[in-house]
A and B are shown apart, each in its own frame.
Chain A
Amino acid sequence: MKKIVVLSYGLGNVRSVGNALRAIGANADVSHDEHSIMQADGLIIPGVGAFPHGMANLVESGLVGVIRKYIDSGRPVLGICLGMQLLFDKGTEFVPTDGLGLIAGSVDIIPVSPEMGRLPHIAWSTICPTEQGRQKMFAGLTDSEMRFYFVHSYAATGVRSDNISATVSYLGNNIVAAVQSGNVWGTQFHPEKSGPSGLYFLNNFISNC
């Protein structure tokens, strides 16, 4: 049984992610202990909330170095929602804040005027995978199954096209829905809250671990 550590850093729906992993037969351990993390077959960085708060918690709990060390080991890492956003160079929510700098890009507010529509983008949206996404992260899902739950007001921008695995359209904006850079995966949507398609996606991640 694959052992996956769900990183707990004082933010996020760690229980939900753990429950989803257990539902697909993984051994999920919610932890911030370096030893447990380094023993894991895969690492998930969950997270909901604001960018500066998330980054501050990672720094204060000494987890930035642990995440880097884990990634250097070549094992798979998945960032979910804020966990994905923190992978980028910086975020501009409330105050400009440096991120983990693992994938090139910035996390900025989705440009939506009140006449156009609403923020946060809270919706089940059908994503559009890139060729790379179709082969790897979303392999095995049909087009109609690529419907995932999003809840966010900020999104990654300036991302290199070879790092983009899927996009989603919201009010005329083409938003980055999933990224991949080597062994590092990220999703703006919440697979743990996206029903059977989300569980299928998580299973793809685990199979990779």
Chain B
Amino acid sequence: MRVIARLDVKNQFVIKGIHLEGLRKVGDPNQLAKAYYEAGIDEIVFIDAVASLYNRNNLFSVIQKASEEVFVPITIGGGLRSLSDVEQALDAGADKVALNTAAIREPGLIEKVAKQYGSQCVVASVQAKRTANGWEAYMETGRERTGVQVLDWVRRLQDLGAGELLLTSVDQEGTKSGFDVPLVQAVNNAVSIPVIVSGGYGQPKHIAELLEVTEPSGLCFASVLHYKTATVDELRQNIALARASGIK
């Protein structure tokens, strides 16, 4: 299982909030990315926390620098609206693009990017919030409702050619109270492409609780790494222990 660092960037700073809101500066994106690379991270995801809201793309220079000193896959998301935005992101040195708001507004974009650059480069980002009878997909950094059911949407994203899913629980994000296990299980069962889980990790038992029920392809970590609560090696060991003690 891949161990992935997630860096939410605003105005050239890595920030961290709760439920994707209430943002606090935690460091320089390139410094953190390099430190995580040197610590053995499997992959890095940069999310532009504001571009989606203000139509501004300022993460490309960060990506360009990162791609010169970090030799693991780099994903960029947040504010990518069109095929030409995707092209710019890949030219800057990203290996994959994460699309949410733009995909909801224009699902055909997923298909276009997959056709042009291959499915491996398309990460469909899904922000899920619990409802009375399931989960609803949100957009604009977890602020706007879409009326779309998550389980319908992820199947559609797979059919459109998404290569993997980045699944964020808006409810759990930043709370350190554990993953939304039923959500991960439902999504993992609904699709046959890899699912990356983001939002909610606080302590080792949260990994065990998740792996008892379902095994995603990767886990995204933010606060725990930014605040040095755990190292990459410790997170990897926690995953290995949880797997050894009996996976579903």
A-to-B contact residues, CB < 8 Å? 13, 15-16, 19-20, 22-23, 48-50, 114, 118-120, 122-124, 149, 151-153, 190, 192-196, 198-199
**Considering the chains assembled together, what is the distance between the CA atoms of A192 and B74 in angstroms?**
12
B-to-A contact residues, CB < 8 Å? 2, 37, 40, 42, 67-69, 71-73, 90-93, 95, 117-121, 163-164, 192-194, 217
Q: Are A13 and B118 in contact (CB under 8 A)?
A: no
16 CB contacts below 8 A, A to B, read A15-B92, A16-B67, A19-B67, A19-B68, A48-B117, A50-B118, A118-B217, A120-B120, A120-B194, A122-B194, A123-B217, A124-B2, A124-B42, A192-B71, A193-B71, A193-B73
Q: Are B93 and A16 in contact (CB under 8 A)?
A: yes
Residues of chain A within 8 A (CB-CB) of B69 are 23
- Name the one of A13, A16, A48, A122 contacting B217, with C-beta atoms under 8 angstroms: A122
- Name the one of B40, B120, B192 contacting A114, with C-beta atoms under 8 angstroms: B192
Q: Are B193 and A16 in contact (CB under 8 A)?
A: no
Measured CB to CB, the nearest residue on chain B to A47 is: B118
- Name the one of A20, A152, A153 contacting B71, with C-beta atoms under 8 angstroms: A20
**Considering the chains assembled together, what is the distance between the CA atoms of A23 and B65 in angstroms?**
13
Residues of chain A within 8 A (CB-CB) of B121 are 48
Residue from the set B69, B73, B163 with the largest chain A CB neighbour count within 10 Å: B73
Q: Are A48 and B120 in contact (CB under 8 A)?
A: yes
Q: Are B40 and A195 in contact (CB under 8 A)?
A: yes
Residues of chain B within 8 A (CB-CB) of A193 are 71-73, 95
**Considering the chains assembled together, what is the distance between the CA atoms of A123 and B68 in angstroms?**
22
Measured CB to CB, the nearest residue on chain A to B116 is: A49
Residues of chain A within 8 A (CB-CB) of B192 are 114, 118-119
B55–chain A nearest beta-carbon distance, Å: 25
Residue from the set B40, B42, B120 with the largest chain A CB neighbour count within 10 Å: B120
Q: Are B71 and A199 in contact (CB under 8 A)?
A: yes
Measured CB to CB, the nearest residue on chain A to B164 is: A122
**Considering the chains assembled together, what is the distance between the CA atoms of A194 and B118 in angstroms?**
20
B89–chain A nearest beta-carbon distance, Å: 11
Measured CB to CB, the nearest residue on chain A to B91 is: A15
**Considering the chains assembled together, what is the distance between the CA atoms of A48 and B113 in angstroms?**
13
A19-B71, A49-B120, A195-B71 known, 5 other contacts, Cβ within 8 Å: A48-B121, A118-B194, A120-B119, A195-B40, A196-B71
Q: Are A195 and B72 in contact (CB under 8 A)?
A: yes
- Name the one of B90, B91, B193 contacting A119, with C-beta atoms under 8 angstroms: B193
